[in-house]
Amino acid sequence: MNDGSDLPVTATQTSTQILETLIKLEGAGLTTVAETLGRSKSSVHNHLETLTGLGFVVKDDYEYRVSLRFLQIGSYARSQYPMYRAGVGEVVQLSTAAGCSAGLAVLENGELICLHHRLGPDTETPVVSAGDRLPLHCTAPGKAILAAVSESKREELLAGYTFDAGTDQSQSSRAELDAELRTVTSRGIAVDREEWHPERRGMAAAVADPAGDIQGAIYLLTDPATLSGKRFQQDLPGLVISAVTQIQNSLRES
């Protein structure tokens, strides 16, 4: 992602940083936001009041938080992805059949984004939500997509990539990742063995459109006990591949 240092409109950049700070802090007062960003209170106040006036921020007493205006924007943005329209129903079916959380992930501007996540009966606290940015190298959907895209696209995605996310179980170098991706290609299924999040394992497969272009991946996310034994080797991979087939059929018919 661009750090913003070379962008032409600094005011827009500042407003965006303020919004991201409000999200990170789950709402905050003027002083906290200004101190977090290292900016003057007067400057931050002007941005906050403008964002409030435009309906992007809500002020409760002395605390600001992002408004539901973003729900409308996010819902529209998500609906523009054929992967979402074709796959949201399959996520429900996959989650129900597997008894665990499931979701869709896509690439946007070179980043892996959770497009949709359905919490399964196996967990009460989600570790991922729609809109979250996920690492490519240590998540099942990330590895599924990397293994499925063209070599040139893979090189583009991994150019300057840093392996600083994940747990001690994740790959720490390009060579390790390449070896893993060869296994993913041969199996058609990518697996995350607590590489991204402790006590969470994932399984995913890439989804292609009728032209053969990779649209994203559908995934399962559950506890280590679920992704083990015969269930891990046969049952769950079959469910994921079946979901991929259904989504690709829907993309073909749309």
Domains (ranges, CATH) in the chain? Answer: 10-67 (1.10.10.10), 74-253 (3.30.450.40)
Position 4 confidence tier, pLDDT thresholds 50, 70, 90:
low
- Mean pLDDT score across all residues of the chain: 93
Burial per residue of 72-87, b for 16 or more beta-carbon CB atoms within 10 angstroms, e otherwise: eeeeeebeebbbbebb
What's the confidence (pLDDT) of residue 234? 80
pLDDT over threshold 70, residue 118:
yes
Q: How many CA atoms lie within 13 A of 179 on its CB side?
A: 6
The answer to whether 132 and 112 have CB atoms below 8 angstroms apart is no
pLDDT over threshold 70, residue 135:
yes
What's the confidence (pLDDT) of residue 233? 77
The three-state secondary structure class of 97 is helix
pLDDT over threshold 90, residue 223:
no
Across the beta sheet with 201-208, the strand order is 133-134, 111-118, 101-108, 214-222, 201-208, 190-193
At 130, list the tokens: 């729609």
At 139, list the tokens: 């998540």
* Helix axis angle, 174-187 to 151-158, nearest 10°: 140
pLDDT, tens only, 8-25: 888 999 999 999 999 999
pLDDT, tens only, 176-213: 999 999 999 999 999 999 999 998 999 999 999 999 99
What predicted TM-score, i.e. pTM, was given to this entire model? 0.88
What's the average model confidence in pLDDT over 245-251?
97
Q: How far is CA 83 from CA 86, 90, 187, 248, in A?
A: 5, 11, 22, 9
